[in-house]
Amino acid sequence: MTRGSFITIEGVEGVGKSTNIAFIRSLLEERSIASIVTREPGGTELGEHIRNLLLDKEQSSMTAMTELLLMFAARAQHVSQVIEPGLASGSWVICDRFTDSSYAYQGGGRHIDMDTIASLEQLAINSFHPDCTLVLDLPVEIGLKRALDVGEKDRFESEKVEFFERVRQVFLQRAAKNEYSHVVDTSQPLE
Ligand code: TYD
């Protein structure tokens, strides 16, 4: 059985992750490649409970470190329960956000030291990383306008524009450093 490929889709709010994920899935279907679409934080029953805590605006006293630890707790469960078994069974796994989001939001956004995040990445998931990451990119104001026009804001969406500017810069810096990452300008047509 050939192992599947692990693809992650990253980017700031409103860059068009859902549309792009649906498009990638249809390309795989055309080629008869089995795929699993999943998301972070979440992707398992336990992880979805953790997601609810993380996004809950009532949790205003949550420290940055607690937030980081919860992201990696959900991720450890997700990798061992869904991602690894899926890849081993030959499916491609497409994941809406992964570790890059922790560097971008908890590192860039919340100012947690990048080496601390790297240590936790090693501890929680043995530095397991994607085969391919697509960082979807748009100017922050355009993305936020799209994202925040729909529905009530969650705990992250309530942050200021400067927070998301820092998040975007870390996504771009990591994409420049990791050979498996590619930046996609999503102001272009989907194809
Ligand atoms: P998501 O629902 O995918 O955001 P959106 O659809 O608004 O783009 O993700 C929820 C939030 O979790 C998002 O604001 C980013 C944040 N997040 C982190 O801060 N760190 C992480 O490691 C992950 C996976 C997500």
Distance from residue 1's CA to the centre of ligand 1 (Å): 33
**pTM of the predicted model, to two decimals?**
0.97
51 lines ligand 1 (CB under 6 A): no
Q: Average pLDDT across each block of 10 residues of the chain; the chain has 191 residues. List them in order.
A: 96 95 97 98 98 97 98 98 98 98 98 98 97 97 87 91 98 98 94 80
CB 95 within 8 A of CB 64: no
> Tokens in use for 97?
């956000």
Q: Report how far ligand 1's centroid is from the alpha carbon of 101 (Å).
A: 7
Question: Do the beta carbons of residue 93 and residue 24 sit within 8 Å?
Answer: no
Q: Give the number of other CB atoms < 10 A from CB of residue 22.
A: 12
